[in-house]
Amino acid sequence: MLRLFLFQRSGPGPLDRVFTRFVPLLVAVLLNGCSSVGYYGQLAQGQWQLLRARQPVEQVMADPASSPQLRARLQHAEQARVFASQQLKLPDNRSYRVYADLGRPYVVWNVFATPELSLQPVTHCFPIAGCVAYRGYYRQGAARGAAALMRQAGMDVYVGGVEAYSTLGWFDDPLLSSMAGWGDERLASLIFHELAHQRFYVQDDTAFNESFATFVEQEGARQWRAARGLAAIEDDQAGQRDQFIRLVLASRERLQGIYAGPLDDAHKRAAKQAEFERLRREYRQVRDGQWGGDTRYDAWMYGPMNNAKLMPFGLYDQWVPAFAALFRKVDGDWARFYQRVEALGRLSGEARKAALERLVVSQ
């Protein structure tokens, strides 16, 4: 899942109960000077509209007009929300205890971009949240327009819909209408993931932040099932997902070697396209063999392919094994785990990466 992080704060307090009326001004002040006024204007407007749409979950559940399906989803979400704070030691605040009807399938659309012959992302830096490898837009048309301009500049570009994002504790993040059709496991996992971002966040290190939240999501979901007396999932889908990710990451690694190699640009372009064909060929072999013809990833694999489309995989999964190893080292104690994560976050970027690599090797 892709997320957009607009804000970061330290210290407790539900600031949105104080600043709700002043969101556009607040965003302009916090983010002024980094990019165009138009871009930050749409961020301010989109966040303001989202805040205005929120209602307490208990109010929505008590409304006779709410569908039985929605009430069931919200009830389950509230149970997972309590578990997140009591058992996973995640923030205990009003995030995911409010609900907003979006009227659209995604809350924002993120635009990823890389140079044509590089896997280095185009980053965008914010005074509060630091630098991230994407830009978010509340309107799909605006995201597509920004992507078109980047393509004209010769960039590889990918636009991805975002199911949820964290404001890192600045506001009470809502459950969204786009989640109403989700299964119980997916909904709980989303809550655990986003609250992990509120629990800890490091500026300028998307791979660290997303891998940390992904680990909390996965381990939290496992413990949530166990707490409800449900058997551990012998999940063929999870196995397929992990195998699919490994295929993509291996392709990224080979592309990195091509771009860093001695070929001229024309031959690098040809090698790039050959690598994408290799990725599709290896995917077909796994799909038609081990997966028994399951086509769940076909749409992604056979859509237009470029460097930017591969980027989120490295950002969201790279250090999950390291955090899993760290969790085992503290014997599954969440409080000690977060302390160790915070210690990693205080290191310099290079020292943090080296420490994570040692954790991976230690498994």
pTM listed for this prediction: 0.78
Give the side-chain half-sphere CA count within 13 A for 237.
Answer: 5
Is the pLDDT reported for residue 311 higher than 50? yes
209 in a domain, yes or no?
no
> Which residue, of 201, 222, 244, is where some domain finishes?
201
In 3D, which of 336, 308, 297, 282 has the Cα closest to residue 120? Answer: 308
354 in a domain, yes or no?
no
Counting the structural domains of the chain, the total is 2
Q: By residue range, what is the domain housing residue 276?
A: 236-317
What is the spatial distance between Cα 4 and Cα 165, in angstroms, rounded to a whole number? 5
In 3D, which of 50, 22, 24, 49 has the Cα closest to residue 37? Answer: 24
Residue with tokens 């920004």: 146
> pLDDT grade, residue 314 (50/70/90)?
low
Tokens (6 digits) for 17: 């109960």
Q: Assess whether 47 and 193 both reside in one domain.
A: yes
Q: Assess whether 84 and 192 both reside in one domain.
A: yes
224 in a domain, yes or no?
no
Is the pLDDT reported for residue 329 higher than 60? yes
What is the spatial distance between Cα 156 and Cα 282, in angstroms, rounded to a whole number? 23
297 in a domain, yes or no?
yes
Per-residue pLDDT tens digits for 179-188: 878 888 889 9
147-151, 180-184, 242-246, 259-263: segment of lowest average pLDDT? 180-184
Where in 27-173 does DSSP place strands (E)? 54-56, 98-100, 108-114, 124-126, 130-132, 135-137, 156-162
Helix and strand totals (H; E) in the chain = 15, 8
> pLDDT grade, residue 93 (50/70/90)?
very high
> pLDDT grade, residue 230 (50/70/90)?
confident
Residue 98 main-chain phi, psi, to 5 deg: -130, 160
Burial of 19 (0-12, 13-18, 19+ CB in 10 A): middle
